[in-house]
Structure 1
């Protein structure tokens, strides 16, 4: 059902584009006259009158809305009046071309209906002679070929609409490279910060947990050695044995939080099931990823779920957590080289929702670290936690 809806939206967008192209053609003619007048009488100080600039900006914003709403094309928002005018000059012929193709399709459909009604319903034959079968076949084949060409023309107009918008309103290649370099620089610094935060957390867990247990264990063993009474020494050794078991449990907990062995061996699904088993809250796991994602994506998805579940158990007062990990199929043509059903070229979507009190702070240490980890993979991370809940933590991780 998605294909027909997309096609219908594209047809509406092209029809609306044809109408706006007519209005914009009148606007461009009027703008040319006003700019010529301004150039002639302003001594070259101002070549774009304010009314022209405002009209061009408004028309461009309307076209950006149309492209976004009907043709699924996101355009850059940073453009001045000259860029807006250049865009309108190029897109008006494209919009008018789309209108011509739509009119041809409408005319062809009307002609086909008239012929069908005349041949098979009313009997209104040309010269009163019924058509031969080969005439009907020839007309049907010719009509289908023309319809195919017209549809391909509409596809080409849609591609032209998007290309013109990207070329005129989007960033230049140099600007795109500079933006990417700046983004990578920030991401690299964030990864370093995330690693430092993780090291501090491990040190804190070892100092406050395992180290204290080992100190207590040493003290118990020392007291047992100094005890003169055999029963007292046996009791102290029993306590030391219990303390060693608790220290081992704490050490395993720290190691598991640093990196779970199941993630390497059995994969993300098994690691998430372990998170659900160890959680203090009931955790429902939904997992719909056909093939195993890349290792870095598995690791990031695991830590997003682990941190979200831990926060829900410690801070939210939630009674239940729902985890959903899925790899929806990419749009056609967006996954080059990926076999159907594979994770290559897809986005792994992670969503964790709890029914707690809400109010989670995205700038908090744990969530901020997750955001940096996801950003390092060119993914997106979001926290929606209004007061009263629910809290929804989501991430999208590219697998390419």
Structure 2
């Protein structure tokens, strides 16, 4: 079965189940609404409404899903009442579809046997008239089914979803949490830079100063040449370490060369095979490029240092909201993105063949989660013991 046929079958099944659930909801409302007058029965009625609404939300997954949760009994009752007309309309549309297909099959079957249908014989003009009329009616049925699927989702979002005020409160809470996360991530990054400078660059510079001091006090030309050679090596190591620290702070080539070339640089410095699959048709915004770079860089570094990986695969693709969330069955290291129709996102997926068991609360991954969340994105980590580890980040471009 092709993807289009599977989608059509799911939509028809979802609408057909919606007709049955609308009848069940009608019976429930007829029994439940009078019971609301009794204080003792009210909690049971509201709990029953929530269960029925949960079944409806599960049914809407066949129609594309509505992404709703956290509704109470009053909203569930309102939804059951509001969606009754949509259920009856779906019954009419599906009935017309069955009658139309049945009538068409009956005409073809009777004409194939040489019989007439309602006094009509298969003359060219009549065949063309019935064929064109049947195609027009079938097209209208398909449009009606698509419209009903959209209507069902919108009714669920309007009746079960949070109000505008609640959405604003949630958004304010998300922004406050994200801001705090960004501050923590900046402090954590500063500490890491300080450690890198202290444990790496500073040690090399101290060794360089000592070698130069010994060279100044040296008497033998052979000893002097040896000390200068050691000093030259120490200076090169200090420069290399300083360059690495600078790249960890911000890769200078990202602005000039773009994300693809910057990721190629990560692969070259990884010390193991790293396959880059880059599928973006155009450059994303600067903050998205930077976040994508650091996701890949941190994931590759963790794979090399902690997971004992032998190879890493990096995929960078784009997704339009509604195509399906990246990954699946994963544990989240950060909050998921809040979806909006038609929003373009960059999806970064890094998989290694290491031992797994990545610490989602560790400094590196938690810092990445905060960096991604600051862009309204989401980070998912799937790292079972024994591997593989898969890190998936979705970064909205809007």
Once residues 41 and 83 of structure 2 are traced to their aligned partners in structure 1, the CA distance between those partners, rounded to angstroms, is 20
Match for residue 248 of structure 1 among 239, 255, 258: 239
Shift, 1:30, TM fit:
1.8
Report the CA distance shift for 1:86/1:47 in structure 2 as closer, same or farther (over 3 A): farther
Cα deviation per residue 1:218-240 (whole Å; 9 max; x = unaligned)?
A: 22222222223333333322222
Comparing 286-295 with 73-82, greater Cα deviation is found at 73-82
Q: Which residue of 2 aligns with 1:197?
A: 188
Task: Tell me the SS of whatever aligns to 2:394.
Answer: strand
Partner residue in 2 for 1:219: 210
Secondary structure in structure 1 of the residue aligned to 2:347: strand
User: How far apart are residue 2 of structure 1 and its match?
Assistant: 3.0
Q: Give the structure-1-normalised TM-score.
A: 0.89
Partner of 1:399: 397
Match of residue 284 from structure 2: 293
Where 1:307 maps in the other structure, the secondary structure is helix
Instruction: Give the corresponding residue for 1:4.
Output: 5
Shift of 1:173: 0.7
**Aligned in 2, Cα 1:198/1:173: closer, same or farther, shift over 3 Å?**
same
State the match for 1:153 in structure 2.
144
Matched, 1:81 2:73: yes
What TM-score results when the alignment is normalised by the length of structure 2?
Answer: 0.89
Which has more radius of gyration? Answer: 1
Judged with a 3 Å threshold, the aligned counterparts in structure 2 of structure 1 residues 48 and 228 are, in CA distance, closer, same or farther, namely same
The Cα shift of 1:47 comes to 7.9
Q: Given the alignment, which residue of 110, 115, 118 partners 1:118?
A: 110
Aligned residues: 379
The 3 A distance-change label for structure 1 pair 175 and 157 is same
Q: 1:122 to 1:174 in 2, by over 3 A?
A: same
CA distance 1:265–1:34, shift in 2 (3 Å): same
Deviations 1:160-215 (A, max 9, x none): 21121111110001111111111111111211211221122112111111112112
CA distance in 1, matches of 2:140, 2:233: 81
**2:33 aligned with 1:25, yes or no?**
no
Alpha-carbon distance in 2 for matches of 1:209, 1:134:
88
1:58 match: 51
Q: Is this contact kept in 2: 1:75–1:169, CA < 8 A? A: no
Counterpart CA distance in 2 for 1:76 and 1:330 is 16
- Partner of 1:354 in structure 2? 352
Give, in whole Å, the separation in 2 of the partners of 1:180 and 1:308: 29
Alignment RMSD, CA only?
A: 2.1
Distance 2:162 2:379 in 1: 24
In 1, the alpha carbon distance for the partners of 2:121 and 2:359 equals 78
Task: Find the counterpart in structure 2 of residue 260 from structure 1.
Answer: 251
3-state DSSP class of the match of 1:327?
strand
Secondary structure at the residue paired with 2:83? helix
Q: Which residue pairs with 2:326 in the alignment?
A: none
The answer on whether the counterparts of 1:348 and 1:398 sit within 8 Å (CA) in structure 2 is yes
Distance in structure 2 (CA, Å) of the matches to 1:377 and 1:25? 44
Note closer, same or farther for the CA distance 1:238–1:79 as it changes in structure 2 (3 Å cut). closer
Structure 1 residue 382 and structure 2 residue 380: aligned? yes
CA distance in 1, matches of 2:376, 2:45: 40
Structure 2 match to 1:167: 158
Offset, 1:139:
2.5
SS in 1 for 2:95: helix
Contact 2:276 2:314 in 1 (8 A): yes
Separation in structure 1 between the aligned mates of residue 378 and residue 9 of structure 2, nearest angstrom: 30
- Residue pair 2:97, 2:141 contacting (<8 A) in 1 also: yes
Give the C-alpha shift of residue 328 in structure 1: 4.1
Structure 2 unpaired stretches of 5+: 324-341
CA contact (8 A) 1:214 1:247 kept: yes
User: Do the aligned partners of 1:118 and 1:125 also contact (CA within 8 Å) in 2?
Assistant: yes
Q: Which residue of 1 aligns with 2:302?
A: 311
Residues 350 and 177 (structure 1), Cα distance of their counterparts in 2 relative to 1, 3 Å cut: same
- Which position in structure 1 is the counterpart of 2:199? 208
- In the superposition, relative to structure 1, how do residues 126 and 11 fare at CA in structure 2: closer, same or farther (>3 Å)? closer
Query: 2-side partners of 1:300 and 1:153: how far apart?
Result: 43
2:293 paired residue number: 302
